[in-house]
Amino acid sequence: MPRRRDVLRWGLAAIGGALCGGFDRSAAATVPARACIVVFLHGGASQFETFDPKPGRPTGGPTKAIDTRVDGLRFAADLPGLAARADRLAIVRSVTAKEGNHDRARYLMRTGHPPQGGVVHPGLAALVSEVHPDLDVPPVAIATPGQGPGLVGPRHASLLVRDPDGPLRNATPPRGVDEDRRADRTALWRALQDDFATGRSAPAIAGHTDVVERGMQLMDSPRLAAFDISRESTATRTRYGDDRFGASCLLARRLVDAGVPFVDVGLQGWDTHEDGFARTSALARTLDRGLSALLDDLRASGRLADTLVVCLGDFGRTPTINARGGRDHFPACSSVLLAGAGIRSGVVVGATDPDGTAVAERPVEVPDLFRTMAHVLGVDADRVRMSPTGRPITTVDGGEVLRELV
């Protein structure tokens, strides 16, 4: 259900469109997207086995490539669904970074900043949530924890849904506790919080108050039903894949349909140092099925036009295949998929060299990527906040919007 603010914004946009005599594609791209879904490939997906295959090269391994709907663009053979939809998405093959440790790399790929002592940068989830201050749902992370809200504050912390099956836990009042009893509890609790906060160190108390209020808001939200994917038909479940990732993608679609502004979907298992090819093959098929169904449904409902879908992970993996038949961490090259929200589709940005040992064309750094996402999502990339120690922190440090995509 749209909130007043949304109605206002969309109303104005419609009037603006009417006055300008048309609502064309370039105009649509200037309106911030309403939602973002990030599919996070935990552990670092091999670009060789997904979006940048090198069959026949010494570094290519046994992975085969297939043609896609875009001339000259080939994906690994385990991505037939995405290959058939390549004209609706964009691939950046030249993402390059320096963080080769999982935790540090995830922090970078979720905040746009390398970890620095003393500052906790907000994750993209919190930045997007902050653009929608009146919404009654927080950003959601499915299966794996997303990034914390850092400087943006606990009100915009992601809600972690570990198990995408079934309704949200503990979101209904205990039996016998009706509206009046709840109101009494809430009124007394608020008074207790206020009293306790007086004269005491504020951050932990104010943060706790915010988080509990968020929970109570969610209990009353008409969006709560969106958390329950058991309301979907078996046919739909099957189309997304009969696994946790499929369920996660389906839940992400339901949440975005209901107006949740940011959903992070984790797919774990990509840290394939050993027996890499069998494992990445299975993972790629899982990814292909879930993400294809998600893109199809968003397109069918018209939500793809205002929903940014991004697929990325910790880092890429080495051209060298190690003695255990796996690939190790390789931040120097990785591939990122983007779709929806006016992102130009059927586009490939950048390239690696023939053996995938380095970026050969159009190096893209993480701040470029974040500046592009911020632009699409209506996040002010140049906003400066003060850290608790008084250091100015810019939302995105440097970087340029990828003009090939927007």
H or E element: which one contains 256?
Answer: helix 244-257
Q: Which of residues 8 and 192 has its CB atom nearest to another protein in the complex?
A: 192
The residues that touch another protein, with contacts defined as CB under 8 A, are 100-101, 120, 123, 138, 145-150, 153-154, 157-160, 162, 168-174, 176-177, 181, 184-189, 191-193, 195-212, 214-216, 218-219, 273, 320, 322-324, 326, 328
Q: Whole-number minimum distance, CB 260 to another protein, in Å?
A: 13
Q: Which of residues 66 and 197 has its CB atom nearest to another protein in the complex?
A: 197
The C-alpha atoms of residue 375 and residue 369 are separated, in whole angstroms, by 10
Separation of first and last alpha carbons in the chain = 29
Q: Which of residues 152 and 406 has its CB atom nearest to another protein in the complex?
A: 152
Q: Which of residues 74 and 121 has its CB atom nearest to another protein in the complex?
A: 121
Q: Whole-number minimum distance, CB 277 to another protein, in Å?
A: 16
Q: Which of residues 333 and 343 has its CB atom nearest to another protein in the complex?
A: 333
Q: Whole-number minimum distance, CB 215 to another protein, in Å?
A: 4
Would you list the DSSP string of 301-356? HTGGGGEEEEEEES-EE-SS--TTS---EETT-EEEEEESTT--SSEEE-EE-TTS
Q: Whole-number minimum distance, CB 81 to another protein, in Å?
A: 31
Could you give the 3-state DSSP secondary structure of residue 221? Answer: coil
Q: Which of residues 159 and 312 has its CB atom nearest to another protein in the complex?
A: 159
Beta bridge pairs of residue 384: 394
Take residue 93 and report the two structure tokens written for it: 């093959």
Nearest to 232 by CA among 260, 210, 257: 257
Q: Which of residues 324 and 391 has its CB atom nearest to another protein in the complex?
A: 324
Q: Whole-number minimum distance, CB 62 to another protein, in Å?
A: 19
Q: Whole-number minimum distance, CB 312 to another protein, in Å?
A: 17
The C-alpha atoms of residue 307 and residue 284 are separated, in whole angstroms, by 23
Alpha-carbon distance values, 53 to 9, 13, 270, 328, 350 (Å): 43, 42, 16, 16, 14
Q: Whole-number minimum distance, CB 32 to another protein, in Å?
A: 25
For tokens 């993209």, what's the residue? 124
Q: Whole-number minimum distance, CB 140 to another protein, in Å?
A: 10
| Cβ-contact 358, 343 below 8 angstroms | no
Q: Which of residues 74 and 113 has its CB atom nearest to another protein in the complex?
A: 113
Would you list the DSSP string of 77-112? TT-HHHHHTGGGEEEEEEEE----SHHHHHHHHHHS
Instruction: Characterize the bridge pairing of strands 329-330 and 74-76.
Output: unpaired
